[in-house]
């Protein structure tokens, strides 16, 4: 699969088959992640692959609490909106079934001591996370970048023994998709691109 095909079909996958993911494929997507650029090539990242069921159950509970707290209150409103309803249903499904996803990957970043840098923390690790998502897509594996569990960041750090100075930046469920990849719905590039000055658009 060429890189554009992977990019253009990289849907958020939130429904997974229970089939296990072979270890060599887990290594492959993680190695792709570690090929990403980072400020000063510091590579201040670590990845935790969680497959142990009791650990996944605990993380899923933290995630579910994040979902309930942030999105529970807008359930009726979201389901009444034809644009929002499919995303809401899909995200709700994941929130209820996270522990069943074969692999959960936590992307961790050393944020303290923070290097002398103008770069905000996320910029040091999200290129690696995106590499991981694209590599998974190229292998036919589904992923979605998630952050809702972070309402319990401290508890997640304790559960997994993540040391001081490190924090989790994303949780990526990984598995064989039980829904189609793509197509993507995005704002057309002409609408989000300005030329020379803010607001100056061009036709393509």
Ligand X SMILES: Cc1cc2nc3c(=O)[nH]c(=O)nc-3n(C[C@H](O)[C@H](O)[C@H](O)COP(=O)(O)O)c2cc1C
Q: Which part of the chain contacts ligand X (CB under 6 A), choosing from 6-14, 23-31, 155-163, 189-197?
A: 6-14
With CB under 6 A as the contact rule, the residue among 6, 8, 9, 12 that binds ligand X is 12
Tell me the two tokens of residue 29: 């997507």
CB contact set of 186 (below 8 Å; sequence gap of 6+): none
Tell me the two tokens of residue 172: 């990526």
Q: Which part of the chain contacts ligand X (CB under 6 A), choosing from 10-18, 110-118, 134-142, 154-162?
A: 10-18
Alpha carbon distance 50, 191 (integer Å)? 40
- Compute the least distance from the CB of residue 88 to ligand X, in Å: 10
- Compute the least distance from the CB of residue 200 to ligand X, in Å: 27
- Compute the least distance from the CB of residue 203 to ligand X, in Å: 25
Strand partners, 143: 174
With CB under 6 A as the contact rule, the residue among 42, 80, 184, 193 that binds ligand X is 184
Residues 59-88 close enough to bind ligand X by CB under 6 A: 87
Nearest-Å Rg of the Cα atoms of the chain is 18
With CB under 6 A as the contact rule, the residue among 119, 123, 147, 193 that binds ligand X is 147
Q: Is 14 in the site for ligand X (CB under 6 A)?
A: yes
Helix 53-71 and helix 85-97, axial crossing angle in degrees, nearest 10: 150
Contact (Cβ atoms closer than 8 angstroms) between residue 31 and residue 25:
no
Phi, psi of 126 (to 5 degrees): -70, -25
Q: Is 105 in the site for ligand X (CB under 6 A)?
A: no
List of residues contacting ligand X (CB under 6 A): 11-12, 14, 87, 91, 94, 144-148, 184-185
């Amino acid at each position: 699969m060429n890189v554009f095909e992977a990019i253009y079909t990289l849907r958020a996958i939130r429904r997974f088959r229970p089939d296990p993911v072979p270890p060599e494929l887990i290594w492959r997507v993680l190695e792709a992640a570690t090929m990403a650029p980072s400020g000063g090539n510091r590579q201040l990242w670590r990845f935790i692959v969680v497959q142990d069921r009791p650990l996944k159950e605990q993380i899923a509970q933290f995630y579910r609490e994040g979902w309930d707290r942030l999105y529970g209150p807008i359930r009726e409103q979201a389901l009444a909106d034809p644009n929002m309803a499919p995303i809401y249903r899909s995200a709700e499904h994941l929130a209820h079934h996270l522990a069943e996803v074969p692999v959960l990957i936590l992307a961790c970043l050393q944020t303290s001591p923070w290097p002398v840098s103008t770069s905000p923390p996320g910029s040091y690790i999200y290129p690696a996370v995106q590499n991981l998502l694209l590599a998974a897509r190229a292998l036919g594996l589904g992923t979605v970048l998630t952050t809702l569990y972070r309402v319990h960041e401290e508890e997640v750090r304790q559960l997994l023994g993540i040391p001081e100075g490190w924090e989790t930046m994303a949780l990526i469920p990984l598995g064989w998709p039980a829904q189609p990849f793509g197509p993507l719905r995005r704002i057309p590039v002409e609408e989000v691109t300005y030329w020379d000055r803010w607001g100056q658009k061009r036709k393509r």
